[in-house]
Amino acid sequence: MQNMNSELPSLVPGSRPPVLLLGNGVNQLFEGTPWKTIIADFSRESGITCEQSELERLPATMQIVAVSGNHIDSQMPRLSEKLLQAKLTEDKKAFLQEILDLPATQILTTNYTYELEQTLESSYSRGRAGRSTYYTVDKLDRSNDMMLHRFTKLPHRDDERYIWHIHGLAYKPSSIVIGHYYYGKLLAQIQRYVGGMMARYKAAESQGKAYLPRSWVDYFLMGDVHILGFGMDPAEFELWWLACCKQRNFPDSKTFFYTRGVAPEQALLMRAYGIEIIPCEVENYPDFYRIALDEIRKRMG
């Protein structure tokens, strides 16, 4: 796999590009490797047992911390292999193609697996495809950058799709962000990046020049972000921090959260941070995603 440096398309300061943020709900719709099964395997193998009702009160990304006794580093290779066992079915591929056909060239995903890439290029395997992996900064600058500057670019019809795995990739266990320790490291990198990013943005704005993004963070802050299949649990604190940062620095940019239902306390936080809740109240998830996709198409224009 060849890794190359590449600039991202420039943005006019004040523009709001459409951005999609996808979570694991999309995978679970097609019976991907069930997270509950993965957690149960880790619990059994570690000998750490607890009541299922207690465990399920924890955010999904914190459950593995509890059942592994916080031995995250040593468990990541095994977690990666379990995640990579999921197969891309034809039904799932067709659904993902609909998502990729949305008018958003920038796609952020918290998923560790690469079904989106495989939908665009069937030969894409374990993160490998010719001329597909790019970085926006030099090797020295991306050392320990928590995937802030790495993206996959693949052709899509007459255009391209840029895919950002913001929590890491399954085939690269050391990149996976899970548990408080790694969420904290990611947030520290984001905060460090945003300081320089805002200086570059304000300079471009004052000089009437195009702005050159260097990370998925730019698109989250500047763009109109549509969140699908991702619960925005309060434990995902790097995204909540970014939502707050976006509200302060890019108040005209929007964030839309598509849901079958949201807890009242979570809705309070979303309203406080300017996240617009788009209710799609139906009885089952297949219908929810169908309605949500229609709503996203309308809003993206």
Q: What pLDDT score does 140 carry?
A: 61
What does each of the 301 residues of the chain score in pLDDT, given as a tens digit? Answer: 445 788 899 999 999 999 999 998 888 787 656 777 888 888 887 888 788 888 888 888 888 888 888 887 887 888 888 888 878 889 999 999 999 999 999 999 999 998 999 999 988 876 556 668 899 988 766 667 789 999 999 999 889 999 999 999 988 888 999 989 999 999 999 999 999 999 999 999 999 999 999 999 999 999 999 999 999 988 899 999 999 999 999 999 999 999 999 999 999 999 999 999 999 988 899 999 999 999 999 999 8
The reply to whether 193 and 54 lie within a common domain is no
Domain extent for 139: 3-29+89-300
CA-to-CA distance for 16 and 20, rounded, in angstroms? 12
For residue 112, which of 139, 143, 144, 76 has the smallest C-alpha distance?
A: 76
Q: Which residues fall within 8 angstroms of residue 81, CB to CB, at 6 or more apart? A: none
The reply to whether 106 and 243 lie within a common domain is yes
Q: What pLDDT score does 55 carry?
A: 85
The reply to whether 170 and 69 lie within a common domain is no
Count other C-beta atoms under 10 Å from residue 258's C-beta: 23
The reply to whether 169 and 235 lie within a common domain is yes
pTM of the model: 0.93
CA-to-CA distance for 177 and 110, rounded, in angstroms? 9
The reply to whether 16 and 117 lie within a common domain is yes
The reply to whether 221 and 112 lie within a common domain is yes
The reply to whether 64 and 117 lie within a common domain is no
The reply to whether 207 and 268 lie within a common domain is yes
Q: What pLDDT score does 2 carry?
A: 47
The reply to whether 64 and 205 lie within a common domain is no
If one counts the domains in the chain, the total is 2
Whether 106 and 223 have beta carbons less than 8 Å apart is answered as yes
The reply to whether 24 and 40 lie within a common domain is no
